[in-house]
Every structure is written in C-alpha cells, then in structure tokens.
A and B are shown apart, each in its own frame.
Chain A
Amino acid sequence: MRISSRCSFWVMLFFAAYSLQAQSDFYRFRSDFSIKEKETGKDQGRLITGTIFFDKNRHKTVYDIRFPEPEQWFVRDTFMYRIKSDTLLSQQMVPPVGEFSIFNLILSQQLNDFGLAKVGYTPGDIQQGGGQVISRWLPPEKLNPYLGPVDLALENKRLTAAAFYDKDQKLISKFYFQDYTVHNSLPVPGKIYQIFYREAGEFVRIMTLNNVIINQVDEDSTYDFELPPGG
C-alpha cells in the first residue's frame, strides 16, 4: 500500500512535470487582428484593428492598435497601461485577461475543450452526426447553482463551435471557429464568430486573425515590454 502510494505520487509528479514541459513548448503568440461587432438590426458597429503580442510565460500581452486610433495597450498580470505616442495615457487594474484569452488556450493546446477540463467541467452526453462530435460539458456538481453546461462541437478533432448556458439552461452565447491554419503544428482559427443572446437583442462579434507567428524570437522588446515612466 505504502509502495503503491509512493509510486502513484511519483507517477503524478512525472505527469505534472511532463505537462508543464509540454505547455512551455508554445509560449508566444503574435497575430494581426480585426474585431468587428454590432448589435443586430443596427448599421453602426465597432471596428478595431491591430496586432496582438502575447507571452504566456511572462504573463504579458500587448495590443498594438491601429484603428480607431493608434495606441498601445500593455497588459501585465492585472495591470493595464495605455500608451499613445510614447506617452502614458492611463493605467488601471483589469482582470487577468491573458489567462482567459483564446491565445492562451491555443498555446496551451486547450482550445479543443475550451479549457473546460482544467476548471473542472466533465463531458456528459456525446452525440455524433454530420462529421461533427457534439458533447455537453457539465460544471462540477457543487457549482451547479451558479454555472450552466457548455456544448462543444468538434470536427476533425478541432473545436468548431461552443454554446454557453446559464444555471437555468438559458443560452447565453455561442462561438464558431473557422478557417483553421496550422502554425508550428498548432491549429489556429482564422475567424471566430461570437453571438451573445441578451435581453436587449443579439450582439455579434467577428474576430479575424492573420499573419500568425508562434514563438517569435526577434521581437523580445515588444513581448517583454518595459513599463513606461510612471507606470
């Protein structure tokens, strides 16, 4: 009993170390992006274009925005700094956006389950058809009063869609992932549709990713940015 417990401890340690090693293989993500969003039924919407630099190990994200106006957003852990023309515009606390970002899911190779397994969701019903595998993921039982299930659709082992529900099984939002390309063996969606079902009506966002580079090594100063004076 004693031996088997120790054995299992070392096996667990090995897999933990292996997991850490595997996760650190991909640590940087760079891509040009555009975000288009609007409420359905309205002509006016929002457009943002720029380049994203994400360093998973350093917990740093840079948004080099070109439209609507050129400025840089530097995010480190839970602090964000807005820079325009080398001048610090503002700094504020923000949620740890890097940890929750799609870029982190891609680098961590957790996009297939949207990172749900890591936070304790477990797969329930699984249905197949039309080349898709659709599974319903359930939150940990103790969190049922607060969280709802998530449906994931996979095609060729790649996530193609996700639907999120609240605790009352009411649909909150859907994601569609399209135009995958492979970079350094990592599948990266080129177009992501997000549909939010709100009481005020549907709200739609399309994010496109182009010119993706994984583990870029020639722009260290951008990924590992220095905080601006006063920051």
Chain B
Amino acid sequence: MLIASITSASIPAKNLSHIFRDDLSKIDSEMALITALEQAVLKSKVTQSQLLREGDPMAQYALEGGDISGSLFGGTAPQEGALLGIPGFLWGFCCSVVGVFLVYIAIDDPIVKKKEGRQAIFGCAAGTLLWVALYAYLVLWASFY
C-alpha cells in the first residue's frame, strides 16, 4: 500500500509503438524441430527415454537431463543468474529475509550469488524500512484519531 502511494519520476519514453514488432512466426520456424517432437510426444505419449531406446531421430532435438525447474517456474536459462529471472532486489524486497536466504541457497554460481545476494540484502533493507515507516505512520494516525 505504502509503495503504491509513492509517486514516480517521469522517465521520458521513446516512441513505444516499435517495441512489440517481433516476427513471432520466425520464432515458430526456429522452433519447428521441437514442435515436431512436441506433436509426436502428445500423439504417442512417449517419454524421452523411450525415444532414445527406440533410436528415434526426434530424440536428438531434446536436451537430455539438466535442471528443468527454471523452465517450469518461468526463469531464464540457469546460467543467466537471477533466480527465476527475478532480480535479487525484488526477492529481498518482497520476501524479506526469506528472499535473501532463497537467493543464497538457490544460486550456485559464486559470482552471481554474490551479486544477487547483495541486491537481495538491499531489497530486504528497503522493504523493512518501508514497513517500519508504515507502522510508524499507523501508530501516529491511531494516536491522533
């Protein structure tokens, strides 16, 4: 609530109309081999290990193993760093100490861990300050009325 009441400085925006002009059919074309695999999988309900055992050439298009949590939960590729693609600051800001903790335990790369962890601590501090300010405001409000 308190955050929502903070007004933002206006950043001059460029012409926004050009931003969303990606050719999605081109992306579909680039994904054609995986889409063919998807159709085969949905039709015959096979698993990757079955495809590999049967020597199905489609199997070569799908990566084997690896952590799929980033894919399921909506993050960027694992090596990209930010947990689920969400900046460390937001983890700390929204989830407080738990957010900082999650950033530290969920990121393996020590360099990224340091960077994101630091941002999470800043976020945690900012979030805590806002809550304290809100609490103080409510206490003052209650004492006056």
Contacts and interface: CB of A to CB of B under 8 A. Distances in A.
Given A36-B38, A68-B49, 9 more contacts: A34-B42, A44-B61, A47-B37, A122-B4, A129-B17, A134-B17, A134-B19, A141-B8, A196-B85
Interface band, chain B: 35 or more
Contacts of B62: 44-47, 68
A92 to B, nearest CB: 9
A125 B16 contact: yes
Given A39-B77, A163-B19, A143 B47 contact: no
5 contacts: A34-B38, A43-B33, A45-B31, A80-B69, A95-B83
A153 B18 CA distance: 11
A30 B49 CA distance: 27
B106 to A, nearest CB: 7
Nearest to A2: B145
Interface band, chain A: 35 or more
Q: Looking at chain A's contact residues, is the secondary structure mostly helix, strand, loop, or mixed?
A: strand
A73 B73 CA distance: 11
Contact of A149 (B11, B38, B74, B105): B11
Nearest to B27: A204
A100 B74 contact: yes
Contacts of A230: none
Q: List the 4 shortest-distance A-B pairs measured between CB atoms, nearest first.
A: A120-B3, A68-B48, A125-B13, A138-B8
Nearest to B37: A47
Contacts, number: 206
B13 A124 contact: yes
Q: Looking at chain B's contact residues, is the secondary structure mostly helix, strand, loop, or mixed?
A: helix
B45 interface: yes
A167 to B, nearest CB: 9
A97 B106 CA distance: 13
B71 A67 contact: no
Given A49-B38, A73-B72, A136-B11, A195 B27 contact: yes
Given A94-B106, A143-B126, A119 B3 contact: yes
B124 interface: no
Given A69-B48, A97-B73, A204-B30, A43 B80 contact: no
